[in-house]
C-alpha cells in the first residue's frame, strides 16, 4: 500500500505533463497565437455636411450636420498573426474576409409620422474593396 500511492501520484503527474511537453511542440512549434482585431469603419475621401444655410442678423451661416464622407471602408472583426506568443500553439492564416465599401451622400429622409424631412448621410454598398486575412490558432501537435 505504501508503494501504490506514490506510484499513482507519479503516474498522474507524468501523464499531466505529457501533453504539455507535446504541446510545447518541439523545435518546429512557433509558440504563437492569433490576435483579435475588432471590426472598424474607416471614412475616407472628400466629405460634405448634410445641412442648410441661414442668415442671422444678415450674417450667412451654414448649419451642417456631421461630416458625410464619400466612402466608408468596413473592416470585419478578424484575427491576425502579429507575433503574440503562446506555448504550444501556432498562428496560421486560414481564410480571407471581405472589406466592404459603402458610398455615401447627403439626402433628405422623411421621419415617419412627423411630416418633416431630415438631412442625413445615407450610404449604400459599393461592393468589396478587398480582403483581410483571417488567422486562427491551432495546437502544434494538430499540425499536419
Partner 1 sequence: MRWILACVVLAIVALILEQWNASRPQAELQSARVRETEPQRAPRDEGLELAALAAREELAPAAPAADTPEEALDLIALLREVAVAFAGQDAGALQVPLQKIAGQPARCEEVLLLLEKGGLRGDELASAGSVITLGVVVSLYSSPQRPAGADGHAFTVEVLEGLARVEPPEQLDLAQRLIEARVGEHFVLDLTYLPKILELRTRYPEQAELYSSLLVHMAENLAEGRGLEEFRALFLTQGQDPTAVQLSLSALLRTDAASWLPLAEELFANASGNSALRAAITSAIATSAPVELASSALARLAGPSMYDSFAVLGLREGGCEALAARYSELVSSDGNPLARRMLVSGLRNEGEPVLVGIAATDPDPSVRSQALLTSSLARPSGPALLDQLETLHGQRADPAHGISTQHAVLVAGNVLINSGDVERERTRDFLLRIAGDSSESDADRLSALRTLKPWMPAGALDNWQIGGQSVK
| Residues making contact with partner 1 (CB under 8 A) | 35, 37, 40, 42-46, 49, 52-59, 61-64, 66-67, 71, 73, 75, 82-83, 95-96, 98-99, 101, 103, 108, 111, 116-119, 125-133
Residue owning grid cell 498573426: 81
Distance CA 42, CA 95 (A): 22
Distance CA 69, CA 48 (A): 7
CB of 4 to partner 1, least distance (A): 51
Judge contact between 123 and 107, C-beta under 8 A.
no
CB of 124 to partner 1, least distance (A): 9
Distance CA 36, CA 76 (A): 11
- State which residue, 37 or 138, has the beta carbon closest to partner 1: 37
- State which residue, 22 or 119, has the beta carbon closest to partner 1: 119
Amino acid at each position: 500500500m505504501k508503494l501504490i500511492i506514490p506510484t499513482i501520484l507519479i503516474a498522474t503527474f507524468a501523464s499531466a505533463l505529457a501533453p504539455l511537453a507535446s504541446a510545447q511542440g518541439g523545435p518546429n512549434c512557433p509558440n504563437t497565437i492569433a490576435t483579435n482585431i475588432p471590426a472598424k469603419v474607416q471614412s475616407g475621401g472628400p466629405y460634405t455636411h448634410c445641412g442648410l444655410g441661414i442668415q442671422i442678423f444678415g450674417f450667412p451661416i451654414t448649419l451642417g450636420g456631421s461630416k458625410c464622407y464619400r466612402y466608408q471602408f468596413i473592416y470585419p472583426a478578424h484575427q491576425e498573426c502579429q507575433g503574440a506568443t503562446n506555448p504550444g500553439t501556432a498562428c496560421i492564416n486560414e481564410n480571407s474576409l471581405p472589406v466592404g465599401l459603402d458610398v455615401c451622400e447627403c439626402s433628405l429622409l422623411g421621419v415617419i409620422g412627423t411630416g418633416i424631412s431630415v438631412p442625413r448621410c445615407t450610404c449604400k454598398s459599393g461592393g468589396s474593396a478587398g480582403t483581410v486575412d483571417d488567422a486562427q490558432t491551432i495546437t502544434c501537435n494538430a499540425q499536419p
